[in-house]
């Protein structure tokens, strides 16, 4: 057998070690030690969270969005050692190394109020904070998105020049890309003072409608092939899930203007040919309406002003959805708001933010109802309480007891007239002996469109309608300052708008309220206590005592050239 000797042969693989092995092993050991340290830190943090009774989270591997991080300014995050790691339209979660910091708790309340969301504070380790804090480097890239849709005064002015009519809007929407299309529609809605934008997918096209002064107008028709892009753009802006189209969703975003900002509430629901989108435009400047500018006149104005100055009792506004009840309540609150008065509201939802007033939003999914919220509010020692709506016996009882124990309570209830509020309360099984001393005033109201002053002309009224008008105005009690003499009744003049560029061809611009204000008196109180309450009996007593009905108030405003006879009869008869 031939023996072969290898000169300088390498050692066998079994006893050979790579030259880099010691360094790699050392690095692996260091990584393992580091992992063990971090694991121990997280375990210690979790135990601490249990002791404090707060939730805990490890942010390693958690998909923290830069958009969520951006909710807290970087300096504030660094000062409080706190990071926002989760954000949806309803939920905001903060992670902090010191969740019991009073400054953090105050900040959480402020965030909850500003974003109308539930805020929860978690305990996190320092390493979790450091990891998430690095995301601030990415915030400048998404700054424009997080600040909402930016429509400058310059772009609005340009749209005003380009879009003098809805026909021009229809032409323009076919010339721009999807991003500009959504901005164009929003800007056009703002220009026309629309309260809502409706975008509806139909079988052959997409219909765009604006609600202007309470009435829907079709303003444009879009190609159905663009629907997916349009709905995706709107969902992206409002923080909705783009991939979900078979369930209703709700979101919001903000339009920032130079001297104002507009909160846009977005609602989507599935329909046969896509989805229906409604965007409600809430202007912050709209809350500045003064009590004197509501449209109340004469005895109604004096009576309601007197009732708002009383230290206790209840004032309720009545009317269907969209009749301006919330606007009236806000105007009353603006009138009563001063440094010496504690005002708290319970709303569903909070539509406008009022400076100097504590506003709380009910959340039925978390069992935070009007009744339970009202009980909590009473522990806050308020002078005035606004309850968004009284819809059940529990809420009614708590509100009435609050009104009887030294608080002024203002609220809304769904009835067709001021006189209908009392039977509605009794139908809820409110005790009559509590209701009569608690109620101060009931307001029935509707909104009518105002004639455009730029194109106002005299309106010709046919004989049948004029006879109807005379029958209504001639029965105004003589004791009422608004009563008309026979001579006035035979010389009535009414007006309408022809339609012009100023009012976009509609003949109307803006809205005003028509009212009836019923105040509690001994006759109505006896009727309530008798147990034989009729809406018509209450109405008759109020009219005999000088109350103007809504239709009478509306026709007097039509006589003064504020609105049209057609509008009054459409909403009040």
| Distance of alpha carbon 508 from alpha carbon 452, whole angstroms | 5
Token couple for 484: 């008309």
Residue-level pLDDT at 152: 59
**Residue 4, pLDDT above cutoff 50:** no
Q: Which tens digit of pLDDT belongs to each residue from 83-111?
A: 999 987 678 899 999 999 988 988 888 88
User: Regarding predicted confidence, which is higher, 138 or 378?
Assistant: 378
| Distance of alpha carbon 145 from alpha carbon 522, whole angstroms | 60
Q: Which of 122, 94, 123 is nearest to 107 (CA)?
A: 94
CB 394: neighbour CB atoms within 10 A?
16
Say how far residue 253 (Cα) sits from the centre of its chain. 11
349: preceding bond cis by omega (within 30 degrees): yes
| Distance of alpha carbon 187 from alpha carbon 151, whole angstroms | 7
Can you name the residues that pair with 313 across neighbouring β-strands? 408
Contacts of 569 (CB under 8 A, 6+ apart): 465, 551
Q: Which of 57, 60, 64 is nearest to 137 (CA)?
A: 64
Token couple for 552: 């009478």
Token couple for 363: 């959340």
| Distance of alpha carbon 209 from alpha carbon 219, whole angstroms | 5
| Distance of alpha carbon 357 from alpha carbon 467, whole angstroms | 48
Please, is 526 exposed, middle or buried when counting C-beta atoms within 10 Å of its C-beta (0-12, 13-18, 19+)? exposed
Distances (CA, A) of 42 to 62, 124, 410: 14, 8, 51
| Distance of alpha carbon 57 from alpha carbon 124, whole angstroms | 6
**Residue 143, pLDDT above cutoff 60:** no
Residue-level pLDDT at 153: 62
Say how far residue 325 (Cα) sits from the centre of its chain. 14
Distances (CA, A) of 318 to 42, 315, 424, 547, 551: 56, 10, 11, 16, 15
Q: Which of 200, 171, 203 is nearest to 188 (CA)?
A: 171
511's enclosing H/E stretch is: strand 508-519
Please, is 510 exposed, middle or buried when counting C-beta atoms within 10 Å of its C-beta (0-12, 13-18, 19+)? middle
Q: Which tens digit of pLDDT belongs to each residue from 501-525?
A: 888 889 999 999 999 999 999 999 9
**Residue 8, pLDDT above cutoff 80:** no
- Residue in this structure with the two tokens 């009353």, named with its chain if needed: 332
Q: Which sequence spans correspond to the domains of the chain?
A: 35-144, 149-283, 289-572
At residue 139 the predicted structure's pLDDT band, cuts being 50, 70 and 90, is low
CATH 3.40.1360.10 fits 289-572, yes or no: no
- Residue in this structure with the two tokens 């309601």, named with its chain if needed: 304
| Distance of alpha carbon 119 from alpha carbon 109, whole angstroms | 8
| β-bridge pairing 205-212 and 215-223 | antiparallel
**Residue 406, pLDDT above cutoff 60:** yes
| Distance of alpha carbon 43 from alpha carbon 389, whole angstroms | 48
Question: If you ran DSSP here, which 8-state letter would residue 455 be given?
Answer: S
| Distance of alpha carbon 201 from alpha carbon 231, whole angstroms | 10
Q: Above pLDDT 70, what percent of the chain?
A: 86
**pLDDT mean over 129-134:** 90
pTM of the model: 0.71
Overall fold of domain 149-283: Beta-Lactamase (3.30.450)
Question: If you ran DSSP here, which 8-state letter would residue 485 be given?
Answer: P
């Amino acid at each position: 057998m031939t023996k072969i000797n290898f000169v300088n042969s390498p050692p066998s693989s079994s006893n050979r070690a790579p030259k880099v092995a010691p360094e790699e092993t050392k690095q692996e050991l260091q990584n393992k030690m580091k992992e063990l340290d971090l694991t121990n830190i997280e375990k210690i943090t979790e135990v601490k969270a249990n002791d404090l009774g707060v939730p805990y989270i490890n942010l390693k591997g958690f998909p923290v969005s830069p958009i969520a991080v951006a909710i807290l300014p970087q300096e504030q995050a660094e000062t409080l050692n706190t990071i926002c790691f989760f954000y949806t339209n309803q939920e905001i979660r903060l992670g902090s190394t010191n969740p019991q910091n009073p400054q953090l708790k105050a900040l959480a309340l402020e965030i909850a109020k500003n974003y109308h969301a539930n805020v929860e504070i978690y305990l996190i380790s320092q390493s979790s904070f450091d990891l998430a804090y690095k995301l601030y480097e990415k915030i400048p890239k998404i700054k424009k998105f997080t600040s909402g849709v930016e429509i400058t005064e310059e772009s609005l002015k340009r749209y005003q020049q380009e879009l003098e009519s809805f026909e021009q809007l229809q032409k323009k929407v076919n010339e721009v890309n999807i991003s500009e299309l959504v901005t164009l529609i929003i800007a056009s809605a703002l220009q026309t003072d629309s309260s809502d934008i409706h975008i509806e997918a139909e079988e052959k096209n997409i219909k765009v409608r604006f609600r202007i002064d309470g009435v829907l107008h079709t303003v444009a028709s879009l190609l159905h092939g663009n629907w997916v892009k349009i709905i995706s753009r709107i969902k992206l802006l409002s923080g909705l899930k783009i991939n979900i189209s078979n369930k209703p969703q709700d979101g919001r975003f903000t339009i920032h203007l130079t001297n104002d900002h507009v909160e846009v509430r977005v609602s989507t629901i599935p329909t046969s040919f896509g989805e229906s989108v409604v965007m409600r435009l809430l202007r912050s400047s709209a809350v500045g309406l003064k009590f004197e500018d509501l449209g109340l006149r004469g005895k109604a104005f004096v009576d309601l002003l007197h009732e708002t100055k009383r230290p206790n009792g209840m004032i309720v506004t009545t009317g269907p959805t969209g009749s301006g009840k919330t606007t009236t309540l806000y105007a009353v609150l603006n009138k009563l708001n001063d440094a010496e008065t504690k005002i708290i509201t319970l709303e569903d939802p909070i539509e406008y933010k009022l400076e100097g007033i504590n506003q709380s939003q009910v959340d039925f999914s978390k069992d935070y109802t009007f009744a339970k919220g009202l009980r909590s509010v009473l522990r806050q020692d308020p002078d005035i309480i606004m309850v968004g709506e009284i819809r059940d016996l529990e809420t009614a009882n708590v509100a009435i007891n609050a009104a009887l124990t030294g608080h002024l309570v203002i609220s809304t209830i769904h009835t067709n007239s001021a006189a209908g509020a009392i039977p509605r309360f009794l139908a809820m099984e409110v005790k009559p002996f509590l209701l009569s001393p608690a109620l101060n005033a009931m307001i029935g109201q509707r909104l009518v469109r105002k004639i455009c002053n730029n194109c106002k002309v005299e309106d010709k009224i046919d004989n049948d309608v004029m006879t109807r008008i005379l029958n209504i105005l001639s029965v105004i009690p003589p004791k009422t300052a608004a009563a008309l003499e026979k001579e006035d009744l035979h010389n009535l003049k009414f007006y309408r708008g022809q339609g012009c560029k100023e009012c976009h061809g509609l003949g109307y611009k803006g809205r005003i309220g028509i009212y009836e204000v019923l105040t509690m008196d001994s006759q109505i109180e006896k009727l309530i206590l008798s147990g034989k309450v009729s809406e018509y009996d209450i109405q008759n007593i109020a009219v005999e005592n000088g109350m103007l009905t809504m239709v009478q108030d509306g026709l007097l405003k039509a006589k003064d050239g504020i609105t049209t006879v057609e509008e009054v009869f459409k909403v009040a008869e």
